[in-house]
Amino acid sequence: MLSDIVDIENQHQQQLHVLFIDSYDSFTYNVVRLIEQQTEISPEVNAVHVTTIHSDTFQSMAQLLPLLPLFDAIVVGPGPGNPNNGAEEMGIISELFENAHKHLDTIPILGICLGFQAMCLAQGAIVSELDIIKHGQVYEMHLNDAAKRCGLFSGYPDTFRSTRYHSLHVNAEGIDNIVPLCSTEDENGTLLMGAKVKSRPWFGVQYHPESCCSELGGLLVRNFLQLSLVNNMRTGRWESKKLNGKFSDILSQLDRTIDRDPLYRVKDEYANGDRAIYMKQYEASKDPKLTLKICDIIEEQKFVMSSSVISENRGEWSIIALPNGKSQVFSHYGAVNKTTVHNWQDKEISYSILKKCLDGEELDLPGSLEVIDEDKSQFWITLGKVMENKIIDDHREIPFIGGLVGILGYEIGQFISCNHHNDDENSLVPDAKLVFINNSIVINHKKGMLYCISLDSTFPSTLQQSLINSFVGKKDAEQELKWPKDLPKEVGFTITMPDKKDYADAFEKCQDYMHKGDSYEMCLTTQTKVVPSTAIEPWRIFQTLVQKNPAPFSSFFEFNDIISSQDDSPPVLCFLSTSPERFLKWDANTCELRPIKGTVKKGPQMNLTKATEILKTPKEFGENLMILDLIRNDLYELVPDVRVEEFMSVEEYATVYQLVSVVKAYGLTSASKKTRYSGMDILKHSLPPGSMTGAPKKITVQLLQDKLESKLNNHVNGGARGIYSGVTGYWSVNSSGDWSVNIRCMYSYNGGTSWQLGAGGAITVLSTLDGELEEMYTKLESNLQVFM
C-alpha cells in the first residue's frame, strides 16, 4: 500500500498541476481538456492534471493561498460578468491579481477572456464595453514584435484566426506594466487581444483559444505550460512542490468540489442472455407511415416515438411502447422535492391519495405506491439505481428493447428552480415522468423490419397476431393513412399569445444583458395557450399534427397512469411533438448531440441555396458556433474524447431550413479512465439543452427564468417552460438512449382541456426585434397551424 502511495506521489512529480478557476462559463471544459491534451511539455513532464474550481468555491484568497504551492500554474477562464464589478461578480478572481499577495508574483497565470480582463484591470488598464460586440465571430489575430520574443507565441505565424466571445475589452495604453503582444482590427478599431504582465509570469488572451474555430489554441496552452515549468524550476517552486504527504488527498478533495460522480457504477461488461428476451422479427413496409397505421389497430395504451420523416441518422427507427400493470412509473415533483413510484394503473391508488402524499400527509401507502423525499439531483440517482441491475449486453443492433421511456421537463435541468403549478387546477405538475416499459413494437423504416419485443414475455398475443395479419410481409404501403388532416370544424379555440410589447421589452433586456457582458446568447421563448371549446382527444390532435408538420421525432404521450374514479379524475399529462432536433443519442461507449441553431422560414421566395447563404452569415454562424462550443463543453465535462463530426449543415424541414452541427464523444466506458459514465450521466450534466438556453448556460437560464420569461409568459403557469424545452426519449436496457428536444410540440397538464405551445429563438447582439419575432412566429406556426 505504501508503495502505491509513493508511486502516486512520483507520478505527481512528472505531471504539471494546473488550477483552473471557472466563472460558471459554458466553455470551461473546452479549455480544461485543451490543457490536459498537452502531453509533450518537456522530456521529464508528459502529463497535466487540471483541478477545476468555481470562482466562488473559496470565500477568499486567504483560504486558497495555502493550497497554491501544490499547483504549477493557474488558468483563469472565460465567463460572464464585468471585472469592474469586483468580488460580487468575480468571486476570488478579483483578489487573485491584487498586489497584496506578493507571494503570487512567482506563480504562472494564464487569463482567458474574462480572466485576461481581470488581470489587466488589476494592472491599471481600462475595461469597458465595446461599441460593436463580438460573440462567436472569428477574426484574424496579429502578433507584434514583442510577441515574437515572448515564448507564449513561440512557433506561431504572424497572423492566425481565432474566435471572439466578448462584450468588454481592455485598453492598456500607457500602462507600463502591460506588454501588448497581439491585436485584431474591426469596426471598433484596433483591439488588444493578448498581453503579458511585466515582471511576472502572467499572460492573457482576449480571444478564445479553445473554440473549435480557433487556430493553434493547443500550441498557446503548451507554450504557457512550458514557460510555467521553466519559471518554476528557476524560482524553486518546482522543487518545493513535493513530498507533501497529503498531496494526493488534498488534490482529490479539491477535484471533488464539483460533483462528477456517475449515477451508478457502470460496468465494463454486462451479462448477456441470462434474462430471456422475447423478440420476434418480421418483414414489413418501409413506409414511415407504417408506425402510424400500426397505432390504429392498437387498443392498449401506447406511447409513440415515431418518425414521420426519415433522414440520415435520424428517423430510421420508430418505437411504440406499451405500458402495462407491471410498468413502474417514476414522477418527480420538483416543487415539493418528491418522487412517486408506482405501477401503471394500480387500482389501489387514487388521485386523491397521491395528492395527499404530495402535500406531505403521512399515510399508509396503498398498493405499489412509494413516495421518496428527494431533490432533482437525487431523482437522477434513483433512476440510475433502477437501471443498474437491468442493463444487459444484448441486441445492441436495436436501439430500444425495453427500459425507461418518457419526458424530462425543462426545469429538471441544472441551474433552474422548479416550483410551478398548473394554473387551471392549481395542482402540482410533474417535472419528469418516466415509465419502465417491458413490451414494445420497434420498427426499422430503412430495412422494413418490425420487431415485437418483451423483457418479461408478456407481449400481448392478440396484438401480435393482428400485426402479423395486417402488416407482415406487405412490403408496399397498402393504403393511405386515413387520418383527418384538420380538426373538427365545429370546435373553436381560444388562443392566448404573449403580448408583442412584452416580447419587445424582453428582447431589449436581452440586448442589455449581452452588452454588459452577462450573456453571449439568450434563447428567449414564449408560451401560447390554446383552450378548445369542447374537448378533443389528444390522439385526434396528434393525427392532424403529424400530417401538418412531419418531423423525425414525432411523439405521442398520454400518461393515464392513475385511474380516474367517480370522485376524482387525475390531471393527465399529455405531450404531442413534431420535433426536428435530436438532443442526445448514446450507446454503451459513444454519444452524439445534434444542436440546431439558425432558422430560415420556407416560402415561395426561399430555396435551399438561398437559405444556405443566409444561414452562413455572421449572425447565424455565430449563433450556431456558440452552441457548438457549449455542447463540446457539456460533453468534455465528463469525457475527454470529443469531436465535431459535422460542422453547420443546412437541413430542410416542412416549414423551415435549419443549421445543424453534430458533436460526438467517444470512450464513455473506456477502461483506461478512472470513472466510467453512462449516457444518462451525460444527459444529467447537459440538461437543459444548450440550444434552448444560450450561453453561458447558468447565468442565462437564471436571467431568462427570473427576469424575463416569468413576466413575458405570466399568462401560462407563472412563465415556467414546463415540458417545452425539455427532452423526450428513452434509456434502453441494452445501454442505448435517444432523446429529442421538446420543441414544435404542445403539452397539456389536464388531459387536453387546455394546451401550451412554446416557441422561441436565440437572441444575439446581431438580432433584430422584427427578425426574432418573425422567427418565433414561424416556429409557433409549425404546431399552432393545427388550431387555425
Ligand X SMILES: C=C(O[C@@H]1C=C(C(=O)O)C=C[C@H]1O)C(=O)O
Residues at the interface with ligand X (CB under 6 A): 523, 525, 581, 596-599, 691-692, 741, 743-744, 758-762, 779
Region 51-90 residues binding ligand GLN, contact defined as CB under 6 A: 78-81
CA distance 290 to 305: 13
Minimum separation from the CB atom of position 361 to ligand GLN (A): 48
655 to each of 71, 104, 306, how far by Cα in Å? 54, 58, 19
Q: Is 429 exposed, middle or buried (0-12, 13-18, 19+ CB in 10 A)?
A: buried
| 210 assigned to active site | yes
For 426, 428, 458, 570, the CA distances from 563, given in Å and listed in that order, are 20, 17, 22, 7
Q: For ligand X, give the closer residue by CB, 212 or 762.
A: 762
Residue 280 burial (CB count, 10 A): 14
If the CB atoms of residues 212 and 682 are measured against ligand GLN, the closer one turns out to be 212
Is 751 a residue that touches ligand GLN (CB under 6 A)? no
The C-alpha angle with vertex 512 and arms to 507 and 515, in degrees rounded to 5, equals 125
Q: Catalytic: which of 208, 342, 445, 685?
A: 208
Beta-carbon count within 10 A of 518 CB: 20
The answer to whether residue 150 is catalytic is no
Q: Which does 721 bind (CB under 5 to 8 A by kind): ligand GLN, ligand X, none?
A: none
Q: Which does 498 bind (CB under 5 to 8 A by kind): ligand X, ligand GLN, none?
A: none
From the list ligand GLN, ligand X, none, pick the one residue 150 interacts with, judged by a Cβ distance below 5 to 8 Å according to partner type.
Answer: none
Sign of CA dihedral 430, 431, 436, 442: positive
Return all residues near 699 (Cβ < 8 A) that are at least 6 apart: 24, 80, 81, 518, 519
Q: Which is nearer to ligand X, 200 or 744 (CB)?
A: 744
Query: Binding of ligand GLN at residue 538 (CB under 6 A)?
Result: no
Say which residues have a Cβ less than 8 Å from residue 364's Cβ, sequence separation at least 6.
none
CB nearer to ligand GLN: pick between 209 and 729 = 209
Q: Which does 761 bind (CB under 5 to 8 A by kind): ligand X, ligand GLN, none?
A: ligand X
Residue 759 binds which of ligand X, ligand GLN, none (CB < 5-8 A, kind-dependent) = ligand X
Strand, coil or helix: 494: strand
Smallest separation, CB 79 to ligand X (Å): 23
Q: How far is CA 425 from the centre of its chain?
A: 31
Kindly state the smallest distance separating residue 600's Cβ from ligand X, in Å.
9
Nearer to ligand GLN, 114 or 572 (CB): 114
Residue 445 or 779: the one with the smaller Cβ distance to ligand X is: 779
Interaction between residue 113 and ligand GLN (CB under 6 A): yes
Which of ligand GLN, ligand X, none does 596 bind, CB closer than 5 to 8 A by kind? Answer: ligand X
- Per-residue binder mask for ligand GLN (CB under 6 A), 486-525, x = binder: -------------------------------x--------
- Range 128-167, binding ligand GLN (CB under 6 A): 165-167
467 and 312 Cβ atoms separated by less than 8 Å: no
DSSP 84-152: GGTHHHHTHHHHHTSTT-GGGTTS-EEEETHHHHHHHHHTT-EEEEEEEEEEEEEEEEEE-HHHHHSGG
Q: Pick from ligand GLN, ligand X, none: which does 779 bind, CB < 5 to 8 A by kind?
A: ligand X
Say which entry of ligand GLN, ligand X, none residue 758 contacts (CB below 5 to 8 A, set by partner kind). ligand X
Binding-site partner at residue 525 among ligand GLN, ligand X, none, CB < 5 to 8 Å by type:
ligand X
| Contacted by 598, from ligand GLN, ligand X, none: CB < 5 to 8 Å by type | ligand X
Measured from the CB of residue 620, what is the shortest distance to ligand X in angstroms? 8
Phi, psi of 336, rounded to the nearest 5 degrees: -120, 10
Footprint of ligand GLN on 354-383 (CB under 6 A)? none
Q: Between 120 and 545, whose beta carbon lies closer to ligand GLN?
A: 120
Could you list the beta-strand ranges (E) of 235-284. 278-283
Contact 354, 427 (CB under 8 A): no
Q: Which backbone phi and psi does 333 adopt, to 5 degrees?
A: -115, 100
Q: Which is nearer to ligand X, 83 or 690 (CB)?
A: 690
**193 is a site residue for ligand GLN (CB under 6 A):** no
3-state secondary structure of 245: coil
Nearer to ligand GLN, 50 or 733 (CB): 50
How far apart are CB 127 and ligand GLN at their closest, in Å?
8
599: which 3 cell numbers?
Answer: 432558422
Q: How far is the CB of 153 from ligand X (least distance, A)?
A: 36
Residue nearest ligand X, CB atom distance: 691
Paired with 73 in beta bridges are 18
Residue 217 CB partners (closer than 8 Å, separation 6+): 34, 162, 208, 209, 210, 211
* Number of neighbours of residue 113 by Cβ within 10 angstroms: 27
Least distance to ligand GLN, CB of residue 680, Å: 30
Active-site annotation holder among 210, 411, 620, 637: 210
- Is 411 within 8 Å of 332 (Cβ atoms)? no
DSSP SS3 for 761: strand
Please give the Cα distance from 625 to 619 (Å, whole number): 10
Q: Residues 74, 114, 118, 170: which binds ligand GLN (CB under 6 A)?
A: 114
Catalytic residue chosen out of the listed positions 113, 418, 574, 745 = 113
| Residues touching ligand GLN, count (CB under 6 A) | 11
DSSP string, 507-557: HHHHHHHHHHTS-SEEEEEEEEEEEESS---HHHHHHHHHHHS--SEEEEE
**Considering the rule CB under 6 A, would residue 209 count as an interface residue with ligand GLN?**
no
* DSSP-assigned letter for residue 277: P
Q: How far apart are CA 238 and CA 263, in angstroms?
A: 37
Site for ligand GLN in 623-642 (CB under 6 A): none
- Cβ closest to ligand X, residue 96 vs residue 551: 551
Q: Which residues participate in catalysis according to the annotation?
A: 113, 208, 210
Which residues of this chain interact with ligand GLN, rule CB under 6 A?
A: 78-81, 113-114, 165-168, 517
